């Protein structure tokens, strides 16, 4: 069973087997978590992302999917890049958001890793409301059939931490 843990912090500080990146379809970097991971992890990550674009993902990585690269100089072995959906008030994209977590864990299992740090995918630039995103994230990880032993949610500020803590307690 996966142990779900929550911490307030920066995902680039996490010593885990794999950190999940809230990327965009281009895989070529951006702001938020993505910017922080590429800045601190260094150019080896971008080199592998470019190679992915030149091979399997010529059209980019679709939302809801996940793919791994090296973590470069981060204190992790792998980065698992996933692309969250942009929040929409008139279209329910929650299945795509849940898929980000499920597919990231599937890639983690393929890599044979045990500890994975997740950000709150889609809750920044992609504007997903925190309370709803926390529920979707936790439900998806709880439901996953995975050999990952720790899924660590790394929340960047107190409102995000509080939303996840409330959702984890189930109230």
The single residue among 16, 33, 107, 138 that binds ligand AR6, judged by CB under 6 A, is 33
Q: How far is the CB of 42 from ligand AR6 (least distance, A)?
A: 15
How many residues make contact with ligand AR6 (CB under 6 A)? 24
- Residues 11, 80 contacting (CB under 8 angstroms): no
What is the Cα–Cα distance from 161 to 155, expressed in whole angstroms?
Answer: 5
Q: Facing residues of 10 across strands?
A: none
Cα–chain-centroid distance for residue 102?
10
Residues from 59 through 88 that contact ligand AR6 (CB under 6 A): 84
- Taking the least distance from each CB to ligand AR6, the nearer of 1 and 168 is 168
Stretch that binds ligand AR6, among 46-54, 105-113, 120-128, 137-145 (CB under 6 A): 120-128
The single residue among 6, 11, 61, 74 that binds ligand AR6, judged by CB under 6 A, is 11
Q: Is 14 an interacting residue with respect to ligand AR6 (CB under 6 A)?
A: no
Residue 141 CB coordination number (10 Å): 21
Between strands 66-70 and 115-118, the pairing is: unpaired
What is the Cα–Cα distance from 168 to 85, expressed in whole angstroms?
Answer: 22
- Residues 72, 39 contacting (CB under 8 angstroms): no
DSSP H helices, 26-93, are 32-41, 43-54
Q: Is 123 an interacting residue with respect to ligand AR6 (CB under 6 A)?
A: yes
Catalytic residue at 109? no
User: Which tokens in the block code for residue 26?
Assistant: 């281009």
Encoded one letter per residue, x for contact with ligand AR6 by CB under 6 A and - for no contact, window 133-162 reads ---------------------x-x---x--
What is the Cα–Cα distance from 118 to 70, expressed in whole angstroms?
Answer: 16
The single residue among 20, 23, 67, 68 that binds ligand AR6, judged by CB under 6 A, is 23
- Taking the least distance from each CB to ligand AR6, the nearer of 69 and 112 is 69
Residues that bind ligand AR6 (CB under 6 A): 10-12, 22-24, 30-34, 36, 84, 119-126, 154, 156, 160
């Amino acid at each position: 069973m996966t142990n779900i843990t929550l911490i307030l912090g920066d995902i680039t500080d996490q010593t885990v087997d794999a950190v999940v990146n809230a990327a965009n379809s281009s895989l070529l970097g951006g702001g938020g978590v993505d910017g922080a991971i590429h800045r601190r992890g260094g150019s080896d990550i971008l080199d592998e992302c470019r190679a992915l674009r030149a091979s399997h993902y010529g059209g980019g990585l679709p939302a809801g999917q996940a793919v791994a690269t090296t973590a470069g100089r981060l204190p992790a072995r792998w980065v698992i890049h996933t692309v969250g959906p942009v929040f929409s008030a008139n279209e329910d994209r929650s299945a795509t958001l849940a898929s980000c977590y499920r597919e990231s864990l599937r890639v983690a299992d393929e890599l044979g890793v045990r500890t994975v740090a997740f950000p709150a995918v889609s809750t920044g630039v992609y504007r997903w409301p925190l309370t709803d995103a926390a529920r979707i994230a936790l439900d998806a990880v709880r439901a996953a059939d995975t050999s990952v032993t720790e899924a660590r949610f790394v929340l960047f500020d107190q409102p995000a931490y509080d939303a996840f803590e409330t959702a984890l307690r189930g109230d």
